[in-house]
Structure 1
Amino acid sequence: MVGRIVEIAEDGRHLSLRRGFLVVGTGHEEIGRVALDSIGAVIVNAHGTTWSNALMIALTRRGVPVVLCGPQHRPEAVLWPVDGHHVQAHRMRCQAEARLPLRKRLWQQLVQAKIRMQGSVVGALGGPEAAFARLARTVRSGDPDNVEAQAARRYWPLVMGPDFRRDPEAPGANALLNYGYTVLRAATARSVMGAGLHPTLGLHHHNRGNPMCLVDDVMEPFRPFVDLTVRTLVRDGLEDLTPPVKQALVAVTTLDLPGPKGTSPLATALDALTHSLATSFEAGSAALDLPTTPTALDLVGCERAQ
């Protein structure tokens, strides 16, 4: 499902429920409202935000994640529903009992897809796409050679320039990446929870303080689309998180991607991937439904449209 990303960015807002709408207000004045059934995620970046319990319950019943962000737009917590799918208990049990070889094969497929997507982005910018396709083919089960990191070392200079360093605490392009990844993480969390999977039980990510390890695993193949959008914005001199810049980053979730069943928005591709992940846990075999790698030409059009 492709839903609206609602961001609360101004301090002192109150969020409440009224006749099927999320209502944003300040004091006794209503500022705006959004139909609950049209919401894909709520991202709270502002200080002093308050909300009603009835609203939180209504959002969780619809599987809408509420993401609470700290400095530099980094997510600190996500509210997720206890009951996200009608066979959630069974799927979580299969997920928890998945053997290491299966988890390694699933991670292999995700890393291969991520590197191929990175290659498409590099190709759209006139770089050596074929080199990334070759790297993707060398990824073994569990990626013991850390080909993902090898690809990253080649990727970032080609996309963001030789002087760029990925630093989540830094402003400018890094802050834009943080925001774009937060939007993507929220969309991925919704899909993971909607598939009846536990977001903490990851395939590869396993930081003991991270409640979204599986979410971070699943979103990996889609990160390059955020990177391309940020690169385009920075190229055009847009390095501050203004409303138009945020809109461009939110629009990544609606990017059309080719797949085995035709073209669909990125958010729909996330739903297909998480469903296939759940069935892989149930069947004990790795068979992920990943989008087809877009051609560099496809992404050139996307890059020019930003």
Structure 2
Amino acid sequence: MGWRYVCIDEASRINYRLNNIGIVYKDETIWINLDEIDTVIITDSRCNTSIKLLQELVEKGISVIICSNNHMPVGLFLPFQNHSRSSKYNKCQLEWSIAIKKTVWKEIVKNKIALQSAVLQKWGRTNKLPLLTQYLMEVEDGDPTNREGLAAKVYFRELFGEGFSRERRDEGIINSSLNYIYQIVRSKIAQVIVGHGYIPSLGIFHISEYNYFGFADDLIEVFRPICDHYVMKLLQKEDVKFMSPIFKEKLVGILLEKVEIRGTKQKISEAIKIFVRSVTDALTSQKLDTLQFPLFVYEK
């Protein structure tokens, strides 16, 4: 799999020829070899393409993210079978016990709250750190008292301001940026889950029958504070009023940022692979010592 994250906006067509994708604009066509591509993000609904190209992309394990008329991600193409032993891992996934799923979810929530505290510390928002520490210490298996939700409410208001409310349908620049960057990371996690032979809909906490990416929604939680910090940095550097193509490309850059995991610094795209493998190993072996969480939040 490649390393490029290709954002396609204002193109009239996307072609395929000899293992290359051709992005057709008014005055030029840009060709990129498929072996260099990790993910394609199509943000313009007026862009045309072919089934042949989609087939080639999916067969190579390249994720294709489709955006709506308001340029927000709404769909994801993934292969049905992207691992030679998918049936084996599907069976393992179905046999994960409720007890180990609750315990792993507890660890995910605790690490998410710890990262939220680290983000607030980086930005000098320290008033609510004792409360977040209290919530972290109170997390139980399965988080039945919803410490994760309580911590998130406190954290967002402290980071983005007392009047801020995390609303998916809010079109303000902060919520729009968070919605977009979460979907990019969520899509990458789903790609890795399928690539490892697991079923993305079988979550350990997010188990709605209407959610095809429940497992990805479980695992993204520890990356959300890192995304929040990245958005905060971008908005501090630039006077952004709307989701322009250039700004969206910068948001996609989150996958190339580095965190520390397993004692080394890795791009988030690589850290996701390590994290997903560590979680599935823990769920299968019922041993928490395999878990590897991202431990580093970027400097300003």
The question of a shared fold, defined as TM-score above 0.5 by the shorter chain, is answered with: yes
Describe the superposition over 1:200-248 as per-residue Cα deviations: whole angstroms up to 9, x where unpaired. Answer: 1111112322211111111111111221222233334213222442232
1:50 equivalent in structure 2: 48
Amino acid paired to 1:110: I
TM-score, normalised via structure 1 length: 0.88
What is the alpha-carbon distance in structure 1 between the residues aligned to residue 130 and residue 114 of structure 2?
A: 9
2:224 equivalent in structure 1: 223
Q: CA deviation at 1:133?
A: 4.0
State whether residues 65 and 189 of structure 1, in contact with CA within 8 Å, keep that contact through their aligned partners in structure 2.
no
Distance 1:138 1:72, change over 3 A: farther
1:9 equivalent in structure 2: 9
For structure 2, the 5+ residue unaligned runs are none
| Alignment of structure 1 residues 135-174 onto 2, 5 Å | 135-171=135-171, 172-174=173-175
What is the alpha-carbon distance in structure 2 between the residues aligned to residue 116 and residue 185 of structure 1?
A: 20
Distance 1:246 1:288, change over 3 A: farther
What is the alpha-carbon distance in structure 2 between the residues aligned to residue 262 and residue 96 of structure 1?
A: 32
Distance 1:214 1:292, change over 3 A: closer
What is the alpha-carbon distance in structure 2 between the residues aligned to residue 113 and residue 255 of structure 1?
A: 19
Distance 1:9 1:26, change over 3 A: closer
What is the alpha-carbon distance in structure 1 between the residues aligned to residue 191 and residue 158 of structure 2?
A: 32
What is the alpha-carbon distance in structure 2 between the residues aligned to residue 137 and residue 204 of structure 1?
A: 20
State whether residues 2 and 35 of structure 2, in contact with CA within 8 Å, keep that contact through their aligned partners in structure 1.
no
Distance 1:102 1:2, change over 3 A: farther
| Alignment of structure 1 residues 1-306 onto 2, 5 Å | 3-10=3-10, 13-25=12-24, 31-70=29-68, 72-128=70-126, 129=129, 131-171=131-171, 172-235=173-236, 236-294=238-296, 299=298, 301=299, 303=300
State whether residues 41 and 65 of structure 1, in contact with CA within 8 Å, keep that contact through their aligned partners in structure 2.
yes
Distance 1:215 1:26, change over 3 A: same
Greater shift in the superposed pair: 67-76 or 119-128 = 67-76
Q: CA deviation at 1:148?
A: 0.4
Amino acid paired to 1:161: G
State whether residues 257 and 291 of structure 1, in contact with CA within 8 Å, keep that contact through their aligned partners in structure 2.
no
Distance 1:137 1:73, change over 3 A: farther
What is the alpha-carbon distance in structure 1 between the residues aligned to residue 38 and residue 119 of structure 2?
A: 26
Distance 1:95 1:20, change over 3 A: same
Distance 1:39 1:14, change over 3 A: same
TM-score, normalised via structure 2 length: 0.90
State whether residues 181 and 227 of structure 2, in contact with CA within 8 Å, keep that contact through their aligned partners in structure 1.
yes
What is the alpha-carbon distance in structure 1 between the residues aligned to residue 131 and residue 255 of structure 2?
A: 27
Amino acid paired to 1:21: N
Distance 1:54 1:286, change over 3 A: farther
Amino acid paired to 2:137: R
Which 4+ runs in 1 deviate beyond 6 A?
A: none
What is the alpha-carbon distance in structure 1 between the residues aligned to residue 148 and residue 261 of structure 2?
A: 23
State whether residues 180 and 250 of structure 1, in contact with CA within 8 Å, keep that contact through their aligned partners in structure 2.
yes
Q: CA deviation at 1:293?
A: 2.2
Amino acid paired to 1:18: R
State whether residues 255 and 266 of structure 1, in contact with CA within 8 Å, keep that contact through their aligned partners in structure 2.
yes
- C-alpha RMSD of matched pairs (Å): 2.2
Q: CA deviation at 1:72?
A: 4.5
Amino acid paired to 1:24: I
The percentage of counterpart residues that share the same residue type is 25
What is the alpha-carbon distance in structure 2 between the residues aligned to residue 105 and residue 219 of structure 1?
A: 17
What is the alpha-carbon distance in structure 1 between the residues aligned to residue 18 and residue 195 of structure 2?
A: 24
What is the alpha-carbon distance in structure 2 between the residues aligned to residue 280 and residue 163 of structure 1?
A: 39
Describe the superposition over 1:76-122 as per-residue Cα deviations: whole angstroms up to 9, x where unpaired. Answer: 32211122222211111111221211211121121111111111111
Pick 1 or 2: higher relative contact order, CA cutoff 8 A, min separation 6. 1
Distance 1:169 1:276, change over 3 A: same
Q: CA deviation at 1:63?
A: 1.6
Q: CA deviation at 1:289?
A: 3.2
